[in-house]
Amino acid sequence: MASRRAAIGLIAMGFAAFLSTGAAAQDYPTRPVKWVVGYPPGGATDILARLIGQRLSERLGQQFIIENKPGAGNNVGTESVVNADPDGYTVLLVNPANGINASLYAKLSFNFIRDIAPVAGLARVPNVMVVPKDFPAKTVEEFIAYTKANPGKVNMASSGNGTSIHLSGELFKAMTGVEMLHVPYRGSAPAITDLLSGRVQVMFDNMPSCISHVRAGTLRALAVTTEARSPELPDVPTVGDTVKGYEASAWFGMGAPAKTPKDIIAKLNKEINAILAEPEIKKKIAEMGGVTLTGSPEDFGKIIQSETDKWEKVVKFAGARVE
């Protein structure tokens, strides 16, 4: 009889916990949510987080506060979310560096796929091979020739070690044989500042953070990194037109600490998919050169796994490693 009462008590406790979790998800959020971005303001990750975060704030009635935590190629921000309480009030702007760093960094205090739960995809965008407006080369072919003829004179900027910007450049180096010194910055914005001034000579930047400079003529776009041309820069060829087989792109989404309640993840996923379906949001993402990434948390998880596997091969091919 005692064991029966104990069993009934355990079932009741489990049911109460289930109801409590469901109620928490139904009421969520009841206070502001911190959305961590592993880069300074002004880059593609920051732009997308602020765009979607504003609409989440409006739809859910609580502020989604963007907290920029740059450092260690996105790892500082990621680690802060890994170690946060899994209650839905700290989330991460997931980006290509999260897939790349798994193989690029020799020692990480976390396993991204294990420790961060996928919530929802946001967008996929091309990178753009950009140079200062007065750079001698006007095509990819001319850039390759110039770099080979001027060893040591071309510095390649990136938004940090392990970013898609960095690895897009490493892939270009590996496939063309050109030598460029990699200069990592703490985000796209400071890198673009030095690119505009000519302190560095090339960058494979995410389109959202450089397209305004390309349109203004202050930077020259030599090519986009995707397989097909971008509708936003229809006159700009692809890198693959010159370097056969070259392809790279950037992808973005939201993640949360691994033990975040599934009901909260499901609610965030539903809200984000609804926001991505809004014509104005689709238009703004298209203007940045991107396409929306809608789907379930599992769908986004598959993208993370696929990109992690892809860039592991590139890291090994390029011989890149950060201790």
Q: Which domain holds residue 268?
A: 6-125+250-318
Last residue of a domain, one of 241, 275, 306: 241
Q: Who wins on pLDDT, 246 or 23?
A: 246
* Region class of 94: left (phi > 0), else alpha (psi between -120 and 50), else beta: beta
Q: Which pLDDT score, from 0 to 100, does residue 23 have?
A: 54
Q: Residue 135 and residue 139: Cα distance in Å, rounded?
A: 10
Same domain, 109 and 28: yes
Inside any domain, residue 288: yes
| Residue type, position 114, single letter | R
Q: State the pLDDT at residue 6.
A: 54
Q: How confident is the model at residue 320 (pLDDT cuts 50, 70, 90)?
A: confident
Look up residue 71 and give its amino acid.
Answer: G
Token digits of residue 197: 């001034």
Same domain, 187 and 275: no
8 A C-beta contact, residue 31 and residue 87: no
pLDDT classification of 20: cutoffs 50, 70, 90: very low
What pTM was estimated for this model as a whole?
0.82
Domain count, the chain: 2
Sequential DSSP letters for 8-66: HHHHHHHHHHHHHHHHHHHH--SS-EEEEESS-TTSHHHHHHHHHHHHHHHHHSS-EEE
At 206-234, the pLDDT tens digits run 999 999 999 999 999 999 999 999 999 99
Q: Give the end of a domain, one of 241, 270, 297.
A: 241
323 belongs to a structural domain: no
Name the residue among 300, 311, 323 with its Cα closest to residue 94.
300
Whether residues 134 and 207 fall in one domain: yes
